[in-house]
Amino acid sequence: MDGNGRWAKKRALPRAVGHQRGVEAVRRLVRALAPTGLECLTLYAFSSENWKRPDEEVDDLMNLMRRFIRSDLPEFVANNVKLKIIGDWQSLAPDIVAMLEDALAQTANGTQTLAVALNYGGQHEIARAAAKASAAGGGISIETIAAHLDTADLPPLDLLIRTSGEVRLSNFLLWQAAYAEMLFVDTLWPDFEPAHLTRALDDFARRERRYGGR
Ligand code: IPE
Ligand code: MG
């Protein structure tokens, strides 16, 4: 989800307003999830590198997260959305950790997964998974690492979308992206509508995936 800052800048608004509108784009998308039939939608909300931003912006993002969970959790439960968090979320502020634990418990029976990457970095995820695989004594292999990734219980990554015209992964789902289809769109995240997702899924459906075969 990239482009909140540029969305605000274009309108001479504070970055915080861009992030606020970014949250609204998330809300629209989650509300439109059921008819897509998607098993899992994963959103990159806060990277392990986002701590480099000014304290004020980090605070804004954390406060938006608090408000979003508080306001939208009942809707998640009502719409059978199952929350999943990936990344080092347990080292976030204790009140956020508590809210997330409650949200995970309340949504545990949901049927469509909304995975949120919080304090997430792909390289770190792989390193942690390798350390756990090694500690478990089964040796280090593709299978043992994959079994210890934060996403171990999620379906394989099929399509990765980045908004705002940047063409890089920025440490998102590096391992999982091995054979994922990629889609880079110019739309700034706050302008991302459910129709953009539908279009992306249509595009994905037309791709021929060979996984190295031919
Ligand atoms: C993405 O928008 C939001 C988060 C990282 C949480 P940006 O804040 O990166 O927006 P740009 O890239 O400055 O436009
Ligand atoms: Mg950005």
The pLDDT tens digits along the chain (214 residues) read: 999 999 999 999 999 999 999 999 999 999 999 999 999 999 999 999 999 999 999 999 999 999 999 999 999 999 999 999 999 999 999 999 999 999 999 999 999 999 999 999 999 999 999 999 999 998 999 999 999 999 999 999 999 999 999 999 999 999 999 999 999 999 999 999 999 999 999 999 999 999 999 8
Would you say the CB of residue 46 lies under 6 angstroms from ligand 1? Answer: yes
| Nearest ligand, CA 6 | 1
Q: How far is it, in rounded angstroms, from Cα 108 to Cα 126?
A: 25
**Which one-letter DSSP state was computed for residue 32?**
T
- Which atom number of ligand 1 is nearest to the Cα of residue 7? 14
Contacts of 187 (CB under 8 A, 6+ apart): 3, 163, 164, 196
| Nearest ligand, CA 17 | 1
CA–centroid distance, residue 48 to ligand 2 (Å): 13
| Nearest ligand, CA 45 | 1
- CB–CB of 30/114 below 8 Å? yes
List the catalytic residues.
Answer: 2, 50
User: Which CATH homologous superfamily contains domain 4-205?
Assistant: Decaprenyl diphosphate synthase-like (3.40.1180.10)
Would you say the CB of residue 50 lies under 6 angstroms from ligand 1? Answer: yes
Whether this prediction's pTM lies above 0.95 is answered by yes
Q: State which H helix or E strand residue 84 sits in.
A: strand 81-86
Would you say the CB of residue 190 lies under 6 angstroms from ligand 1? Answer: no
Would you say the CB of residue 72 lies under 6 angstroms from ligand 1? Answer: no
- Which atom number of ligand 1 is nearest to the Cα of residue 45? 6
**Which one-letter DSSP state was computed for residue 179?**
G
Would you say the CB of residue 144 lies under 6 angstroms from ligand 1? Answer: no
